[in-house]
Amino acid sequence: MAFCCVGIILAMETEAIIHPMPSGSEAREHLESEQERLGGLHQTLLEASLRSRSEQEDLSELSAADQHPAEMGTETFDRERDLAIVESVEAELEEIQAALERLDSGTYGLCEACGKAIGEQRLASVPAARFCLDDQRIAEEEAWRNRS
């Protein structure tokens, strides 16, 4: 999911102290398990709130006479939040698929930016990591600057 990355990295590094570095087969098992879990979550989210109705259909059912504008705003906010969660889960699924492809190609555990090995603790806590910690920080800072 989309999070404030710096806080997540710190949380992940803390987790890494607890978990040992997985081997290639253990990493694959962990990635596939996470892929299955997120796939189920994605399907559940779609079935629960997004599959059959568009935002326009939802809002068209609300009579302007029966609904206060703030209630309509709440409906819109809730829908946008749900869509953001689905997009975040989809992005995580893509990252996991890319990590599985790196395992197959023999580049798993190597930073995509500098080519150095990604630290064992980082891979233990973030098995789909694409960058070493230094390059992850650079990427996040760059993304943050580009937001404005």
- Beta bridge partners, 110, equal 117
What distances in angstroms separate CA 78 from CA 16, 87, 115, one per listed residue?
34, 14, 42
Residues 6+ apart with CB under 8 A from 28: 100, 103
d(Cα 23, Cα 70) in Å, to the nearest integer? Answer: 52
Prediction pTM value: 0.67
Residue with tokens 């029966």: 66
Side chain identity, residue 122: R
Query: Of the CATH numbers 1.20.120.910, 2.30.38.10, 1.10.10.60, 3.10.580.10, which one belongs to the domain with range 5-147?
Result: 1.20.120.910
Domain residue ranges in the chain? 5-147
Task: Please report, in tens digits, the pLDDT of each residue of the chain (148 residues total).
Answer: 333 333 333 334 434 333 444 567 888 998 999 999 999 999 888 887 655 455 556 555 555 556 677 777 887 888 888 888 889 999 999 999 999 999 999 999 999 999 999 998 898 888 899 999 999 999 999 999 998 6
d(Cα 142, Cα 148) in Å, to the nearest integer? Answer: 11
End-to-end CA distance of the chain: 21
